Amino acid sequence: MQYETIRYAVREDIAIVTMNRTKVANALDTQMRAELAHAVKRAGSEARVMVLTGAGRAFCAGQDLGDRANPANIDLERLLRDEYTPLLQAIQDSPIPTLAAVNGAAAGAGANLALACDVVIATESAVFLQAFTRIGLIPDAGGTYWLPRKVGFAKAMGAALFAEPIPAREADAMGMIWEAVPDVDFADHWWSRARQLAEGPTAAYAHVKRAIRETYDNSLETQLELEAKMQGECGQTRDFKEGIVAFLEKRKPRFEGR
């Protein structure tokens, strides 16, 4: 696929997916959603970590309401099922760590696109906004799934009902994101974090992602069994053996990944 609304590049085992519709603050239209879904899947086979970010001053303004002649007549149920679900599922199912580098405002579906990633790092000037009730809608694009799991019932409900901007530092404090960093350090910082993941044990990361996500639906007994099974699988990898040898030799491990 030739991309027109995003940029895709792989550097040092890091796939960088950049939303690139700067004239509309990287708002999501049909083409961008399809290209993002394709790029996320591609990254899973070409890199060891994926970074999702935005070009220009915004991360993503959410659904492009100017994408249709009459936005009020959009079949929202079809739109979410046919266009958003494949994209969000691709992020969820990615075999590699996914990192959202939120460089500016993340609103509506744009905010929830970031929250779908494994780790969210934001510049301190960024804001997160569940804008949906402002136009008579509910949080979608996974918002009702991710928000309560990340910040708890009370904060999720307030964010959804009041639809007020949440500054990145507040989002950090409430557990919505991993960290907020000064604007001047942002680019270097997320790249450093991505490098850390790209140099890590990719197979173990895939197991971490699955184990932590499944815990919400499992009993303690089931989760302990899952941990034992996955740990057994990790213990058979070259990365585990390398980690042990590096520990004993007091050096940094050189993980091979897959």
Q: Are residues 136 and 225 in the same domain?
A: no
The CATH number of the domain holding residue 186 is: 3.90.226.10
In a domain, 26, yes or no: yes
> 11 has which bridge partners?
14
Cβ contact 223:215 at 8 Å? yes
pLDDT confidence bin for 248, thresholds 50/70/90: very high
- Give Cβ neighbours of residue 79 (< 8 Å, ≥ 6 apart): none
Report which of 122, 132, 219, 204 is spatially closest to residue 171, judged by C-alpha positions.
122
Write down which residue in 198, 222, 241 finishes a domain: 198
In a domain, 31, yes or no: yes
In a domain, 238, yes or no: yes
Q: Are residues 113 and 221 in the same domain?
A: no
Q: Are residues 98 and 209 in the same domain?
A: no
Residue 258 confidence (pLDDT) above 60? no
Q: Are residues 30 and 153 in the same domain?
A: yes
Report the predicted TM-score, pTM, of the whole model to 2 decimal places: 0.93
Give 42-97 pLDDT, tens digit per residue: 999 999 999 999 999 999 999 998 766 566 677 889 999 999 999 999 999 999 99
Q: Are residues 173 and 220 in the same domain?
A: no
Per-residue confidence (pLDDT) for residue 74, from 0 to 100:
78
The CATH number of the domain holding residue 245 is: 1.10.12
Q: Are residues 73 and 167 in the same domain?
A: yes
Q: Are residues 183 and 207 in the same domain?
A: no
Q: Are residues 21 and 128 in the same domain?
A: yes
- Give Cβ neighbours of residue 54 (< 8 Å, ≥ 6 apart): 18, 19, 20, 26, 60, 102, 103, 104
Q: What angle do CA 132, 134, 139 make, to 5 degrees?
A: 15
Q: Are residues 54 and 29 in the same domain?
A: yes
Joined tokens for residue 67: 């994408």
In a domain, 12, yes or no: yes
Per-residue confidence (pLDDT) for residue 171, from 0 to 100:
97
Q: What are phi and psi of 74, to 5 degrees?
A: -65, 140
Burial of 148 (0-12, 13-18, 19+ CB in 10 A): middle
Count how many domains the chain has. Answer: 2
In a domain, 1, yes or no: no
Joined tokens for residue 251: 């050096």
Per-residue confidence (pLDDT) for residue 69, from 0 to 100:
54
How many Cβ atoms are within 10 Å of 219's Cβ, its own excluded?
9
Strands of 119-123's sheet, edge to edge? 6-11, 14-19, 49-54, 98-102, 119-123, 179-181
Phi-psi region of 26 (alpha: psi -120 to 50; beta: other; left: phi over 0): left
- Give Cβ neighbours of residue 191 (< 8 Å, ≥ 6 apart): 14
Return d(Cα 121, Cα 6) in angstroms, integer: 20
pLDDT confidence bin for 210, thresholds 50/70/90: very high
Joined tokens for residue 153: 């019932």
In a domain, 258, yes or no: no
Q: Are residues 225 and 181 in the same domain?
A: no
Q: Are residues 146 and 223 in the same domain?
A: no
Q: Are residues 186 and 235 in the same domain?
A: no
Cβ contact 51:3 at 8 Å? no
pLDDT confidence bin for 1, thresholds 50/70/90: confident
**Domain extent at residue 239:** 202-249
In a domain, 255, yes or no: no
In a domain, 226, yes or no: yes
The beta-strand segments (E) located in 125-215 are 127-129, 166-167, 179-181
